[in-house]
Structure 1
Amino acid sequence: MADVNKPVEKKFHPYDAREVEKPLSNCDALLSLVKCVVGSGCLALPLAFYRVGYIGGILMTIFMTAVLIFGLQLLVRCMVESSRQNMVGYMNFPETMTYAISVGPKCCQCLSKCAGHFVNGILIFFHYGVCVVYIVFVSINVKQVVDYNCHERINTRLYCFIVGTLSLPLFSLRHLKYLVPTNILANLLMYTGLACIFYYLFTNLPPIDEIRRFNSQLSLFVGIIMFGTSSVGVMLAIEAKMATPGSYVGWLGVLNRCALFVAVTYILIGFMGYWRYGDYVAASVTLNIPIDEALAQVAKMFIAISVFFSFPLSGYVVVDIVCNQYIAKNHNPKNPHRIEYIFRICFVVVCTANAIAFPNLGPLLALVGAFSISLLNIIFPSCIDMCLLYRSSYGPGRWKLVRDLLMLLLGLVILGYGTYSAVIDMIREYSYRAHEVKAGSSTEIKTPEEINAAQDAATLDYPIVDDVTAAGKSVKDFYL
């Protein structure tokens, strides 16, 4: 007979053991999520819809958003399960990857330690590239407005230096909680800028029959939607800093609410932008709106400032990996905060120097995005889940194994197709620019009116176009 006086053993739950300094509320987390997702990438969606048609764009946006968010939810649940099995409050992405492979099939166990470092490397590489492009994006958009209103033009490299320098104080804030006010301001600026753009999108609409319902050019669409919908490191960092992390996932969780809001916003921007400008849609919808109108200039500046405030969110991931997971854990320094501040300064300096030296990062970033997001959001979560369930059960009919294998197959297709397309675009872009330099066309000086007319008459196929020339005087446009 069982002893009724014997205390019932309580099941360990990682959330109860998690200790967070300066935790985020659910509202703080939602605002931070929207800020890290809705950024400069959404402005390329009209071009993405041009590549797949407006019905194809709507369907593909819903599908890709669902896949990416499901992959992230699966990853979060795997991280919680790994923490439960190890009786700890929190295990990060690389630790979860290492542990999952160590308890998976024997043929994979020898790769467990390398897998964790591989995850960290991809996270650092991706978020570093995003931070560099943010500096260039802000610099070019500010330059466009200033060049139109001032007679004397300043080289883009000087703008990159100024933007990088101004990023230092904001990037010195160590806790995500302190970034909530700037995230609120950034969201207000972003959506005010988008509202200004919608003014142009809803005026002088052509007949909808003039635009295609479907098209088959998927490569650019997949790259844009993957880059614009997911920022894995920041999304995981927000969940780790929540006061109630259990509210993050689930049907009505913070992540799903953010995904629904983002999907509706993206569909509106992509569909209306493509409908308004049709075959003449530019790589950024901001390139289609007239620069000589005050409202358009306000939209550009508001969006540029909003992206400027996104820099600390993306850089936070790199700082957390280097300072907390490697330096503090392995070396136990006497002054960890001082080391972190030094690293933060060095990180901004390196990003700024990179932006000054190589402003044309479009084709490379497309490659990094296709390579990184497919791995971080789809392939790795499915592999982790399969390994964690290897010694238990995959459910009736092994449906969880089938689900993970389908996710893995989809991720590999996106990885191979996206990487191949990005490499082809890199070869074509750099070959074109090398020919342009030899022909001497890059030194041609044009007025802002001539540039705007050229922009309205052509579709720009590359997300980023370098405006820096040997003479430092030609003006082109930039977009991420």
Structure 2
Amino acid sequence: MNDEKQPLLTGPSTPTESNETQIVELVSESNVHSNEEKRKAEYHPASERCLEHPTSNFDTLIHLLKGNIGTGILAMPDAFKNAGLIFGVFGTLLMGAICTHCMHILVECSHELCIRNQRPALSFSEVVEDAVASGPVFLRPYAKKMKNVVNVFLVLPLENNMKTPEDFGGWAGVLNTGMVIVAALYTAIGFFGYLKYGNHVRGSITLNLPDDLLAQSVRTMMAAAIFLSYGLQFYVPMNIVWPYVKSKLTSETALKYGETFTRLIMVTITFTAAALIPNLSGIISLVGAFSSSALALIFPPAIEIITFWPDKLGKHYWKLWKDVLIIIFGFTGFVFGTYASIEDILNRQNI
């Protein structure tokens, strides 16, 4: 036998009589590989999910809106003060388009990795872990560490819990519909807030409102909206903090009351910070520049490069160049936004 790869011989392992015909099946490595690819191609993650309470398209849209429209929208007029009306409008819409595209990237990568690893659903951190673990060889030892670094994101839990997840993407899907509404609201609040109060606009637009009945009713409704959505906004930090705290608790009593006590401490910290920090706009800008840039603009394109490396990045590697540009854009915003926010906080403290 020469050194060439020979077909694998598979057949009965027991001896046969001389007058019996033995059937021998020739299975080449290419056939094994093609069968494996066919099995993966026929795997549909959505059909394998067992959801106790699947959400409808409308439910998912509402969750998407509430998850993206937080108290940061009240600081949009202050952002327009720094950017200007025209650049603020087009900049906000451009950011909305890029962020929406990055969300589509995450959903596409999650679907690819679910099929590749035969898993029904993945969270954002699991997508990062699986992408790195199956990506370039030099990155694979860092898969677990990357999962710990990136442990949050809203889009994938929404898509994973849908009754009809195929309706999440697409031009008129839930994601695009929700993000168009989000971008329109952020742009409108920023534009009209700055148009009304100009350079006198404060860190939260509610601080500029007068003390009449209409303004007080607006403040009341905003407070009610924040209160009712606080649980949804708190879903992500609790998913990060509670597993670590739970691992340190040993007694049944501690486990019984530990989660409630942890939530109480975290809520108290956020309320205390909101009451004591005078420069709210600086903190909002710092958090947005430091964390949102990384999560929304840097990690998704990096995950796409790793997931589809090296032969699924499109003709002439157009996906690679597109992702590199988004990463550079996000990193630029991360560096300069963080620097400007810290400088603004320090300057206001010295006044």
Q: Does the alignment pair 1:424 with 2:343?
A: yes
Tell me, yes or no, if the aligned pair for 1:48 and 1:270 is still in contact at 8 Å. Answer: yes
Aligned partners of 2:114 and 2:306: how far apart in 1?
15
Equivalent of 1:237 in 154, 157, 171: 157
Q: Give the CA deviation at 1:334.
A: 11
Q: How does 1:247-262 map to 2 (within 5 A)?
A: 247-262=167-182
Aligned partners of 1:20 and 1:54: how far apart in 2?
45
Equivalent of 1:381 in 283, 295, 300: 300
User: Which residue identity does 2:64 align to in structure 1?
Assistant: L
Q: How many residues align?
A: 311
Q: Does the alignment pair 1:355 with 2:274?
A: no
Change (3 A) 1:355 1:281: closer
Residue deviations 1:177-222 (CA, integer Å, cap 9, x gap): xxxxxxxxxxxxxxxxxxxxxxxxxxxxxxxxxxxxxxxxxxxxxx
User: Which residue identity does 1:366 align to in structure 2?
Assistant: S
Match of 1:408 in 2: 327
Q: Give the CA deviation at 1:294.
A: 0.8
Q: Give the CA deviation at 1:63.
A: 0.4
Match of 1:196 in 2: none
Aligned partners of 2:100 and 2:310: how far apart in 1?
26
Q: Give the CA deviation at 1:412.
A: 1.0
Q: Does the alignment pair 1:263 with 2:183?
A: yes
Root-mean-square deviation (Å): 2.9
Aligned partners of 1:384 and 1:88: how far apart in 2?
18
Q: Which runs of 4+ in 1 moved over 6 A?
A: 325-328
Match of 1:137 in 2: none
Q: Does the alignment pair 1:26 with 2:31?
A: no
Aligned partners of 2:269 and 2:244: how far apart in 1?
24
Q: Does the alignment pair 1:115 with 2:32?
A: no
Q: How does 1:447-462 map to 2 (within 5 A)?
A: none
Change (3 A) 1:322 1:43: closer
Match of 1:280 in 2: 200
* Largest Rg, 1 or 2: 2
Q: How does 1:36-115 map to 2 (within 5 A)?
A: 36-115=67-146
Q: Give the CA deviation at 1:305.
A: 1.0
User: Which residue identity does 1:27 align to in structure 2?
Assistant: F
Q: Give the CA deviation at 1:268.
A: 2.1
Q: Does the alignment pair 1:11 with 2:51?
A: no
Aligned partners of 1:317 and 1:52: how far apart in 2?
30
Aligned partners of 1:400 and 1:304: how far apart in 2?
43
Q: How does 1:172-191 map to 2 (within 5 A)?
A: none
Aligned partners of 1:270 and 1:280: how far apart in 2?
13
Unaligned 5+ segments in structure 2 are 1-37
Residue deviations 1:232-253 (CA, integer Å, cap 9, x gap): x333332222212222222111
Q: Which range is displaced more, 49-58 or 398-407?
A: 49-58
Tell me, yes or no, if the aligned pair for 1:94 and 1:116 is still in contact at 8 Å. Answer: yes
Tell me, yes or no, if the aligned pair for 2:135 and 2:307 is still in contact at 8 Å. Answer: yes
Q: Give the CA deviation at 1:82.
A: 1.1
Tell me, yes or no, if the aligned pair for 1:237 and 1:317 is still in contact at 8 Å. Answer: no
Unaligned 5+ segments in structure 1 are 1-7, 124-232, 433-480
Aligned partners of 2:320 and 2:256: how far apart in 1?
42
Q: Give the CA deviation at 1:418.
A: 1.3
Aligned partners of 1:267 and 1:251: how far apart in 2?
21
Q: Secondary structure at the match of 2:276?
A: coil
Residue deviations 1:434-472 (CA, integer Å, cap 9, x gap): xxxxxxxxxxxxxxxxxxxxxxxxxxxxxxxxxxxxxxx
Change (3 A) 1:314 1:396: same
Q: Give the CA deviation at 1:321.
A: 4.0
Change (3 A) 1:431 1:390: same
Match of 1:318 in 2: 237
Aligned partners of 1:423 and 1:16: how far apart in 2?
48
Match of 1:190 in 2: none
Q: Secondary structure at the match of 1:89?
A: coil
Q: Secondary structure at the match of 2:119?
A: coil
Aligned partners of 2:198 and 2:338: how far apart in 1?
27
Aligned partners of 1:345 and 1:241: how far apart in 2?
28
Q: Give the CA deviation at 1:427.
A: 2.1
Q: Which range is displaced more, 101-110 or 250-259?
A: 101-110
TM-score (norm 1): 0.59
Tell me, yes or no, if the aligned pair for 1:25 and 1:242 is still in contact at 8 Å. Answer: yes
Tell me, yes or no, if the aligned pair for 2:122 and 2:156 is still in contact at 8 Å. Answer: no
Q: Give the CA deviation at 1:62.
A: 0.7
Residue deviations 1:71-96 (CA, integer Å, cap 9, x gap): 11211211121111110101111111
Tell me, yes or no, if the aligned pair for 1:234 and 1:313 is still in contact at 8 Å. Answer: no
Q: How does 1:89-238 map to 2 (within 5 A)?
A: 89-120=120-151, 123=152, 233-238=153-158
Q: Greater relative contact order (Cα 8 A, min sep 6): structure 1 or 2?
A: 1
Q: How does 1:334-353 map to 2 (within 5 A)?
A: 339=255, 342-353=258-269
Match of 1:136 in 2: none
Change (3 A) 1:271 1:367: closer
Match of 1:457 in 2: none
Q: Give the CA deviation at 1:300.
A: 0.4
Residue deviations 1:355-388 (CA, integer Å, cap 9, x gap): 3367317344432321111111111111111111
Aligned partners of 2:349 and 2:202: how far apart in 1?
20
Q: Secondary structure at the match of 1:403?
A: helix
Tell me, yes or no, if the aligned pair for 1:17 and 1:89 is still in contact at 8 Å. Answer: yes
User: Which residue identity does 1:347 align to in structure 2?
Assistant: R
User: Which residue identity does 1:117 align to in structure 2?
Assistant: N
Q: Give the CA deviation at 1:426.
A: 2.8
Equivalent of 2:317 in 398, 402, 406: 398
